[in-house]
Amino acid sequence: MRETRLSSPRCARSGRERRRPCRRRWTCPGLRAMKLNERSLAFYATCDSPADNAGFLYKKGERNTAYHKRWFVLKGNMLFYFEEKDSREPVGVIILEGCTVELCEAAEEFAFAIKFGCAKSRTYILAAESQAAMESWVKSLSRASFDYMRLVVKELEKQLEEMQWGLPGCRRVHRRSPIYRKSKPALGPDPAAVAVELPPPREKPPGLSCPSLKENGCAVWNNTPGMKDLPDGGVPGGPADSGSGKPAVGSGCEVGPKPPPLPPRRHASSGNSRGTGPVAAESCVCPGTTSFSRLHDWYGREIIQLRREWLESHRSHQL
Amino acid sequence: MRYSERELLSLSRQPAEKAAEILMRLPKKGSVLKKRLVKLVVNFLFYFRTDEAEPIGALLLEHCRIAKEEVNVFSISFIEEPDRKYCFECDSEEQCQEWVEALRRASYEFMRRSLIFYRNEIQKMTGKDPLEQYGISEEARFQLGTHKQ
């Protein structure tokens, strides 16, 4: 695929320089019509914002086999390249979204390739000046996509929310609801990363499984502290998110009269843990337990949620 | 500046975070509001003529300012040229607010800042770096002040 220049598109048919999209775009294959905010792009490339990687790389020409030395700057999902290190404007930019990065068997040493899914897309062959530089680039490029960043942010966001409702530093417990078992994709192999794989998050330890899970398989009261599944919409994962290997239990539909969860032990120092702010490590109690009405509401929520789950499971079994 | 148009085109066809037909005006003098299909994909905002499959243009949403203008209207301008505004007129104030929020969160830099924030918060609460388990805690992009050019 030809790289295109923004500033002076030419109509492939007439050869004339055009400043505006050709009206005959559909029948005029040689003309590129898409505008891009080029000036802003150039500013982004050269401004002070943090670069995720920078250095000299050799870039193989599109048609000929010569390599050109360029100064590369990676910012976010955009890989800019400059003629020189102190050039004021990039020569070009490679949009990295959806690409894969592979080591390649080029004649050049320390070479790697940026490939795209689209069949007609150009593959960019780049070569570093050392093994270490090559590895550093391959790593940073394969994790450069917006999607990847979004995945990591969502995961941390979820962790933080769970911590604020649950036990910081303590292991999380998942209540198994037979209806709501969703398998959320773990942070598994990143489609954009070939050379580097994101290992899956640590498994939820089975040791702290819900002790009162009964064989009739219904949603049971969770006796352990640190309930995380509250119906206030604050937990994005839903009632029962990513499985930790605990099997979804069968389809019983009776909920026996189980007792409500025991209030967790209050630590001596919990008197000063007010508010729903980050629960510090000194207290394993839910936030704000100094007032009974708050405590009552706090437990009440789980009961409402469980009841709702039971009603829905009951309903679906009757269908 | 050269750019890989085919990749950009392919990106414009991906499922969008948000898409709607909105009246849009370019910052050029004398531009009028025109109905466009506006589509947000990762950190790009594509805009199409409503009956066409290929976008007229794309805006990379880094270092931009999304501002609420008058009723139903918001604008996008870029940090180096704050007076050049792309204006968008929505059907309702609600739609306008939704777009403003979505666009503000749509930049890579915004996500990076969020990540750093969450990372720090979790580290404060647990004493552990949440990125360690993924083996990415040393990545430049996740540091507070990554190395400059």
Q: What fold is seen in the domain A38-148? A: PH-domain like (2.30.29)
B32 in contact with chain A, both atoms CB, cutoff 8 A:
no
A202 in contact with chain B, both atoms CB, cutoff 8 A:
yes
User: What are the pLDDT digits (tens) for A116-128?
Assistant: 987 778 889 999 9
User: What are the pLDDT digits (tens) for A57-84?
Assistant: 999 988 878 899 999 999 999 999 999 9
User: What are the pLDDT digits (tens) for A139-166?
Assistant: 999 999 999 999 999 999 888 888 877 7
**ipTM above 0.85 for this complex:** yes
Q: Do A153 and B109 touch (CB under 8 A)?
A: no
Quote the CA–CA distance of A81 and A93 in Å, as a whole number.
6
B130 in contact with chain A, both atoms CB, cutoff 8 A:
yes
In a mutational test of the B interface, the residue from A43, A44, A145, A204 whose CB has the highest number of chain B CBs within 10 Å is A44
| pLDDT higher than threshold 80 for residue A250 | no
Going by DSSP bridges, is the β-strand pair B73-78/B81-89 parallel, antiparallel, or unpaired?
antiparallel
Largest CA distance in chain B: 57
Judge whether B73 and B96 are in contact, CB under 8 Å: yes
Angle, CA of A135, A136 and A142, to the nearest 5°? 85
Q: Do B1 and A44 touch (CB under 8 A)?
A: no
Q: Do A34 and B55 touch (CB under 8 A)?
A: yes
A192 in contact with chain B, both atoms CB, cutoff 8 A:
no
Query: Rounded mean pLDDT of A220-235?
Result: 40
Reported as a pLDDT band with limits 50, 70 and 90, residue A303 is confident
Quote the CA–CA distance of A226 and A235 in Å, as a whole number.
13
Quote the CA–CA distance of A185 and A119 in Å, as a whole number.
28
Reported as a pLDDT band with limits 50, 70 and 90, residue B129 is confident
> Which residues, 6 or more positions from B130, have their beta carbon under 8 angstroms from its beta carbon?
A156, A159, B118, B119, B122, B123
Domain ranges across chain A: 38-148
| pLDDT higher than threshold 60 for residue A217 | no
- Residue ranges and CATH numbers for the domains of chain B are 5-111 (2.30.29.30)
DSSP label of A271 = G
| pLDDT higher than threshold 50 for residue A104 | yes
Query: Rounded mean pLDDT of A33-39?
Result: 85
Query: Rounded mean pLDDT of A286-298?
Result: 60
Cα-flanking dihedrals φ and ψ of residue B119, to 5°?
-60, -45
User: What are the pLDDT digits (tens) for B38-83?
Assistant: 999 999 999 999 998 899 999 999 999 999 999 999 999 999 899 9
At residue A14, the pLDDT reads 56
- The shortest C-alpha distance from B73 to chain A (Å) reads 21
| pLDDT higher than threshold 60 for residue A249 | no
Angle, CA of B89, B94 and B97, to the nearest 5°? 70
Going by DSSP bridges, is the β-strand pair B44-49/B34-41 parallel, antiparallel, or unpaired?
antiparallel
In what helix (H) or strand (E) does residue B59 lie, and over which residues does it extend? strand B57-60
Nearest residue in chain A measured CA to CA from B108: A76
User: What is the percent of chain A where pLDDT is above 70?
Assistant: 46
Q: Do A89 and B1 touch (CB under 8 A)?
A: yes
Quote the CA–CA distance of A164 and A184 in Å, as a whole number.
21
At residue A227, the pLDDT reads 39
| pLDDT higher than threshold 80 for residue A49 | yes
User: What are the pLDDT digits (tens) for A195-210?
Assistant: 444 444 444 444 434 4
